[in-house]
Structure 1
Amino acid sequence: MRMRKKKWAIPFLKSQTDLVIENPSIYKGKWKEKLNRNSIRVEIGIGKGAYFDGMSKMYNEDGWIGIEKELNVAAIAAKKLSEEPLENRVLITKDAKDILDWFDKGEIDIIHLNFSDPWPKRSTRKRRLTHSNFIDQYTEILSEEGKIVFKTDNSGLFEFSIIEFTHNGYIIEEISVDYRREKHDEDVITEYEAKFIELNQPIYRLVLKKGRI
Structure 2
Amino acid sequence: MRMRKKHWAKDMIAQRTDCVISDPSELRGNWKQLAGDRQIRVEIGSGKGDYWISMAHRYPDCLWIAVEKDESCVGIALKKCLDNTTENMKIINGDAAEIEQWFAEDEIDVIHLNFSDPWPKKRQTKRRLTYGTFLDSYRKILKEDGLVIMKTDNAKLFEYSLVSLGDNGWHLEEVSVDYRREPHDEDAITEYEASFMALGQPIYRAVWKPSGGKQV
TM-score normalised per structure 2: 0.96
Deviation at 1:84, TM superposition (A): 1.3
CA distance in 2, matches of 1:94, 1:156: 26
Partner residue, 1:152: 152
Deviation at 1:188, TM superposition (A): 0.3
Within 5 A, what are the aligned runs for 1:177-188?
Answer: 177-188=177-188
CA distance in 1, matches of 2:32, 2:124: 35
Within 5 A, what are the aligned runs for 1:45-194?
Answer: 45-194=45-194
CA distance in 1, matches of 2:81, 2:101: 25
CA distance in 2, matches of 1:54, 1:16: 18
TM-score normalised per structure 1: 0.97
Partner residue, 2:200: 200
Deviation at 1:191, TM superposition (A): 2.3
Residue 37 of structure 1 contacts residue 88 of structure 1 at CA under 8 Å; is this kept in 2?
Answer: no
Deviation at 1:161, TM superposition (A): 0.2
* Structure 1, 83-92 or 93-102: larger mean CA deviation: 83-92
Deviations 1:23-79 (A, max 9, x none): 000001111212334310000011111111111111111111100110111101011
CA distance in 1, matches of 2:197, 2:37: 34
Alignment-mate amino acid for residue 117 of structure 2: D
Deviation at 1:97, TM superposition (A): 0.4
Deviations 1:149-195 (A, max 9, x none): 00111111111100111111111111000001111000001222111
CA distance in 2, matches of 1:150, 1:60: 21
**Aligned-residue CA RMSD in angstroms?**
1.0
CA distance in 2, matches of 1:72, 1:179: 30
CA distance in 1, matches of 2:101, 2:191: 29
Partner residue, 1:23: 23
* Structure 1, 35-44 or 54-63: larger mean CA deviation: 35-44
Q: Tell me: CA distance 1:140–1:37, structure 2 relative to 1, closer, same or farther (3 Å).
A: same
How many equivalent pairs are there?
A: 213
Alignment-mate amino acid for residue 151 of structure 2: K
* Structure 1, 58-67 or 82-91: larger mean CA deviation: 82-91
Deviation at 1:20, TM superposition (A): 0.7
CA distance in 1, matches of 2:49, 2:196: 17
Residue 41 of structure 1 contacts residue 63 of structure 1 at CA under 8 Å; is this kept in 2?
Answer: yes
Alignment-mate amino acid for residue 57 of structure 2: K
CA distance in 1, matches of 2:43, 2:180: 20
